[in-house]
Every structure is written in structure tokens, then in C-alpha cells.
């Protein structure tokens, strides 16, 4: 669906949660209310499922919950990185860019030809 090169957070989990929140906001802005999110970070799935067990991330998980309630149907699942190579390449390519990148579309960006 898209990419954004987030500045590194305090922890990789913080960055993963911020990426999920960004993706949720994008889907809500485009009125995509029946959405399944997939992540290669199994801890994010656990965090969304049992936020009370992750008090250090309460502020971000509260925002996830606020967004979640706006969806007609919301689900999140773990997908191994090996099963999602295009998204992995997209994320690695965006991280390598020197400027902020926001890309939301259902097709691969032309600046990453190996995805096409």
C-alpha cells in the first residue's frame, strides 16, 4: 500500500507502532474501513491484541485503539518477512533515502524498479 521512512524511534518497536499508526491513518483518510493489516513484527500483533501487557507503549497503543475503533472491520496478522519480500524491499529502499518519503499507492513506485 505504501511506504514512509520514519525517523528511528527510541526502539524498533516504537518505530513499528508508529508505522502501523501511519498506515491506519492513510487507510482511514482513503475511507478504506474494512482493512487487514499485516506486519513482519510479531510483537506488534501481540501489542495490539494485549496492550495492557505493554505499558511502556501506552500512548502509541491508545492511538492504535482510537484508530481501530474507526474501522468497520479491523484485523492485524503476522506475515513472515520471507513471505513479503516486496514490502521488505520497499522499506529498505525508503530507509536509504536522505529525505522524508511518503508513498501511498497500490502500485510500486518507479524509483524502486526491482519491485516491478
Q: At 98, which CATH number?
A: 3.30.420.10
Cell numbers linked to 113: 524498479
Residue 114: inside a domain, yes or no? Answer: no
Give the count of domains, the chain.
1
Cell numbers linked to 109: 513506485
Residue 58: inside a domain, yes or no? Answer: yes
Residue 78: inside a domain, yes or no? Answer: yes
Residue 116: inside a domain, yes or no? Answer: no
Confidence class of residue 77 from pLDDT cuts 50, 70 and 90? very high
SS3 state of residue 41: coil
Closest CA to 19 of 33, 34, 45, 39: 39
Give the residue numbers spanning the domain of 91.
2-107
What's the Cα-to-Cα distance from 60 to each of 20, 78, 91, rounded to whole Å? 10, 19, 21
Confidence class of residue 46 from pLDDT cuts 50, 70 and 90? very high
Q: Which pTM does this prediction carry? A: 0.75
Amino acid at each position: 500500500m505504501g511506504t514512509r521512512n520514519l525517523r528511528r524511534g527510541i526502539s524498533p518497536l516504537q518505530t513499528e507502532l508508529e508505522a502501523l499508526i501511519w498506515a491506519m491513518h492513510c487507510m482511514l483518510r482513503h475511507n478504506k474501513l474494512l482493512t487487514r493489516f499485516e506486519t513482519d513484527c510479531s510483537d506488534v500483533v501481540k501489542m495490539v491484541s494485549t496492550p495492557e501487557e505493554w505499558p511502556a507503549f501506552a500512548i502509541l497503543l491508545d492511538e492504535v485503539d482510537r484508530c481501530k475503533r474507526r474501522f468497520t472491520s479491523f484485523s492485524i496478522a503476522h506475515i513472515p518477512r520471507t513471505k513479503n519480500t516486496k514490502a521488505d524491499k520497499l522499506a529498505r529502499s525508503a530507509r536509504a533515502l536522505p529525505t522524508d518519503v511518503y508513498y501511498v499507492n497500490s502500485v510500486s513506485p518507479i524509483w524502486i524498479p526491482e519491485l516491478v
